[in-house]
Structure 1
Amino acid sequence: MTDAKPSSWCGKGDKPRDFAKHKPIICYDQPEAAVISKVDYDNKRFLAVTGELLETLVVPKREARTWTMQAGDLCRITVHEGSQVGDMNFWNLENRQERFYSGKTRQLHASHLKVYDRLWSCLPHLRPMATFVFDTLAKYGIDEDGGALHDVIGTRCDDYTYKLITGKQRVGSCHSSLVKAVVEERGMCEQDVHDVWNIFMCTGFTRDTQQYFCKPSPAQKGDFIEFIAEMNLLVALSCCPQGDVSVPVGAEVPDDKCHPLKVEVFRQK
Structure 2
Amino acid sequence: MARTDTMPADAEMRRQIRPVICYPDEGLPQPDLALYRSARVGARKVEEVTVPPREARSFRVPAGHFFRITSIKGPQVGDLNLWNASDLSERFFSGKTRALHGTHVSEGDRLWSCLPYLRPMATVIEDTLSWYGTDPYGGRVHDVIGTRCDPYTHRLLSGGTYHHCCHSNLTRALAVETGRPLQEVEPLVHDVLNVFMCTGFTPDTGQYFMKASPVRPGDYLEFLAEIDLLGALSACPGGDCSSEHSSDAAACHPLLVEIFEPAPGSLAGWSPAAVNAYDRSHGAG
TM-score by length of 1: 0.90
Q: Is 1:199 matched with 2:195?
A: yes
Query: How big is the shift at 1:93?
Result: 0.8
Three-state SS of the structure 1 residue aligned to 2:91 is: coil
Three-state SS of the structure 2 residue aligned to 1:163 is: helix
Q: Is 1:96 matched with 2:88?
A: yes
- 1:145 counterpart (131, 137, 156): 137
- 1:57 counterpart (49, 54, 57): 49
- The question of whether the paired residues in 2 share the 8 Å contact of 1:34 and 1:117 is answered with no
Three-state SS of the structure 2 residue aligned to 1:96 is: strand
Q: Distance in 2 between matches of 1:9 and 1:96?
A: 49
Query: How big is the shift at 1:212?
Result: 0.2
Q: Distance in 1 between matches of 2:29 and 2:70?
A: 26
Aligned to 1:268: 262
- The question of whether the paired residues in 2 share the 8 Å contact of 1:137 and 1:223 is answered with yes
Query: How big is the shift at 1:240?
Result: 0.3
Q: What is the aligned residue count?
A: 255
- The question of whether the paired residues in 1 share the 8 Å contact of 2:236 and 2:245 is answered with no
Query: How big is the shift at 1:31?
Result: 5.9
Residue type at the aligned position of 1:88: L
Query: How big is the shift at 1:249?
Result: 4.0
1:16-53 CA deviation, whole Å, 9 max, x = no partner?
Answer: 5525221121110126444223322222332xxx3221
Q: Is 1:35 matched with 2:30?
A: yes
Residue type at the aligned position of 1:127: R
Q: Distance in 2 between matches of 1:107 and 1:194?
A: 17
Question: After superposition, where does 1:107-146 map in structure 2 within 5 Å?
Answer: 107-146=99-138
Contiguous gaps of at least 5 residues in structure 2: 264-285
- The question of whether the paired residues in 2 share the 8 Å contact of 1:88 and 1:236 is answered with yes
Query: How big is the shift at 1:167?
Result: 1.1
1:103-130 CA deviation, whole Å, 9 max, x = no partner?
Answer: 0000011100010100000000100000
- The question of whether the paired residues in 2 share the 8 Å contact of 1:73 and 1:267 is answered with yes
Contiguous gaps of at least 5 residues in structure 1: none
Q: Distance in 2 between matches of 1:75 and 1:33?
A: 23
- The question of whether the paired residues in 2 share the 8 Å contact of 1:111 and 1:151 is answered with yes
- The question of whether the paired residues in 1 share the 8 Å contact of 2:45 and 2:260 is answered with yes
- The question of whether the paired residues in 1 share the 8 Å contact of 2:237 and 2:245 is answered with no
Q: Distance in 1 between matches of 2:222 and 2:77?
A: 15
Query: How big is the shift at 1:95?
Result: 1.1
TM-score by length of 2: 0.85
Aligned to 1:85: 77
The 1:8–1:108 alpha-carbon spacing in structure 2 relative to 1, beyond 3 Å, is closer
Q: Distance in 2 between matches of 1:248 and 1:62?
A: 13
- The question of whether the paired residues in 2 share the 8 Å contact of 1:247 and 1:253 is answered with no
